[in-house]
């Protein structure tokens, strides 16, 4: 694992000394390399070990904030019981055994059924495209088709979904997601900060949906963009493998700070 760049190293050293630390991370493309089939994703062993050990430290909380539905996130990430979970871009949360499950209103459930029908019709006409159902949304996946086919399918789905008042559409990497609940990873970070009483936050993510989380970070926080693309994050690493090195170094620094 590579050593973090000097500026990031200095930021991690300062972050590690905060009183109560929250380490919140996206999963796909951050803890796990991107894969063609979502069910095949697994966290890099070094990253998983670092998150597990950070969660065991005093005054240190860990969380996964993902676009995945919670069931999917649990299946691929195998998080520790101490790790807090936010799925479906913030529509689903798990903050402990007493956490309330997501409940849609009858109106939201009816709207979701129409959104699912709209995306299914696009998928039916696009061999290689795939639909994913979530508790509050539906996703068009286009990773397995050519760029021109993906563009056409995405435009068609966006047009169909735009006819449904109350459906919120979000772009991601080779996905178009529709939700009947308006929320974001930024709201997820803010909720977790309040829940844990964190005095500083590290957030790492790779997708355009993670920009909402970077946007709510405060001066004492550290945001890390994984991979290319325009970002509001102050720091960048090239890959999930480099992110493993960042987490290992934060673990070393935080362990020394709280001992």
Catalytic residue set:
26
Helices 45-55 and 240-258 cross at an angle (nearest 10°) of: 20
Q: Pick from 23, 26, 13: which is nearest to 199 by CA? A: 23
- Rounded distance, CA 71 to CA 87, Å? 9
Contact 115, 164 (CB under 8 A): yes
Counted residue by residue, the chain has a size of 259
Distance CA 200, CA 18 (A): 6
| Angle, alpha carbons 31-244-19 (nearest 5°) | 95
DSSP tally for the chain: helices H, then strands E? 8, 11
């Amino acid at each position: 694992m590579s050593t973090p760049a000097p500026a990031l190293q200095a930021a991690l050293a300062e972050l590690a000394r905060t009183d109560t630390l929250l380490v919140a991370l996206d999963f796909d493309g951050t803890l796990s390399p991107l894969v063609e089939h979502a069910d095949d994703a697994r966290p890099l062993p070094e990253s998983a070990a670092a998150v597990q050990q950070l969660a065991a430290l005093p005054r240190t909380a860990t969380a996964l904030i993902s676009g995945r539905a919670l069931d999917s996130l649990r299946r691929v990430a195998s998080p520790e019981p101490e790790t807090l979970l936010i799925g479906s871009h913030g529509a689903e949360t798990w903050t402990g055994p007493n956490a309330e499950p997501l409940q849609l209103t009858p109106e939201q459930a009816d709207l979701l059924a129409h959104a699912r029908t709209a995306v299914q019709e696009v998928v039916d006409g696009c061999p290689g495209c795939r639909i994913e159902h979530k508790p509050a949304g539906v996703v068009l996946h286009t990773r397995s088709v050519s760029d021109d086919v993906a563009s056409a399918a995405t435009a068609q789905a966006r047009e169909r979904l735009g006819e449904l008042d109350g459906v919120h559409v979000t772009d991601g990497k080779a996905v178009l997601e529709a939700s009947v609940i308006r929320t974001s990873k930024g709201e997820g970070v803010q909720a977790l900060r309040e829940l844990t009483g964190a005095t500083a936050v590290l957030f790492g993510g790779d997708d355009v949906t993670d920009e909402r989380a970077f946007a709510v970070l405060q001066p004492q926080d550290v945001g890390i963009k994984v991979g290319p693309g325009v970002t509001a994050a102050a720091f960048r690493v090239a890959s999930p493998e480099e992110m493993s090195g960042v987490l290992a170094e934060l673990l070393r620094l935080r362990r020394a700070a709280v001992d």
